[in-house]
Structures are given as structure tokens and as C-alpha cells.
Structure 1
Amino acid sequence: MPPAGGFEAIRYKRNLPARGPGGAAILLGVTAVCGYGFYKLGLGNLEKRELKREKAWSRIHLVPLLLAEGDRDIYRREQAALAREKEIMKDVHGWEAGKSVYNNKNYRPRDTIVVL
């Protein structure tokens, strides 16, 4: 027979202490971190846009300088090619170094530059 007063109660529930912050605190923390991240992303996008604009304007301002440098290089190469042609063809009678092979008098720049 059972003891007087009955059997003692069986503990079937988990008895764990509450640890860490609650769900609302975690949600608030994640929202704050995401907000700060989006703020920094916006600042980075502004800086990237400014650097892109600065790069475009620097290229725009450098174009005349680069074109002039290219023209000087082409002229120097043409003069060197003319000097080589004069040296190579000096023994050929009737050869005019640098004379155009075309039959019209319009100036035609070279389409390709041979770099030796």
C-alpha cells in the first residue's frame, strides 16, 4: 500500500535558470548594428562616388597632355624611320627618302606604328 500522505511529486519539468538577454534586447541590438552598418555603407558609397568623379576629371584634364606626348612620339619615330630609310637607300639612284607612295598630295598619317 502507498505510504501515508501519498507518494511525493515527480519532478518532470526542466528547472533551468534564465540566461542571457531576452529576445527584445537581441532584436534591438541586431537592429542597431544593422543601422550602423547601413550608415557606414552610405558614407562609403559617397566617398566612392567622389573618387570616381575625381578620376574622371583627372583623365579629362590629362587628355591634351597625353595627345601631345603621343604626337611628339610619332614625330620622333617618323624622323628616325626617315633617317633609317635615307641610310639604307643611299646607294639607290633616284630614290627620295620620305616621298609618299600615293599619287595625291593629301597628307595621310600612318595607320600603324612599327616599334623596333
Structure 2
Amino acid sequence: MGAEPRIRVSALLRWNDRVLLCRHEKPGKEYWLLPGGGVNTGESLVDALHRELWEELGIGEEVAVEGPVAIVDSISPVQSFAANCSVSTTSTTSSCILRSSASSSAGGPVTPRLT
């Protein structure tokens, strides 16, 4: 059997009629995602969202979560995950490009860094 399914949270951050997306790069691939990440065991969805926003953007508790707008299930040959997207507004002006690169050509762990 493969790895256990992982629950993920994402935030739809709006500012001046814009939406924040984070750019990810892997060998031969480039894609844009909403900021967010995996939920740890025993962590609430809101706590996970605030933690991920802090880790990726340096913001968190000041972001008001207005409730889920989408729940997504995705199953692929490599992994299975569910995403819970929330809409948030904040007076904080933040922007980032999140770059990720696989640690091995075999698709090892990915380590993001802000640039």
C-alpha cells in the first residue's frame, strides 16, 4: 500500500481585487497554487491554515477565516489528498514567490523557500 491520504488546507487571499498564488517549481514543471499545506495530526483546519500562512508568508493569526468555499478530493497514482479552501481578507500587504524543488529525482520531500 502507498502512503496514507493527506488532508491539506489552502487560503484564497484577496487584496485590491487580486488573489495571491504561490509559484512552485519542480524539475520540468512550473505551477501556481493557493498558499497552504498539510494538516498535522490533532490540528484543527483553522490552526493548520494559520500555521501554513505563517510558514509560507509570515502572516497568520491576523487573517480572518471566513469559512470554506470549496472542498476538493484528488486522487492520483502518486498521492491522494483533500483540500479545504477558505476565503480570507487582511490589511497586510504581502506577496511572495514560493519555489519548491524535489530533493531527489525520485520525487523525494519538497522544501519550499520564499524569494
Question: Normalization by structure 2: what TM-score?
Answer: 0.18
Higher strand share goes to which structure?
2
Higher helix share goes to which structure?
1
Larger RCO of the pair (alpha carbons < 8 Å, separation 6+): 2
Question: Normalization by structure 1: what TM-score?
Answer: 0.18
Kindly name which structure, 1 or 2, has the bigger radius of gyration based on alpha carbons: 1
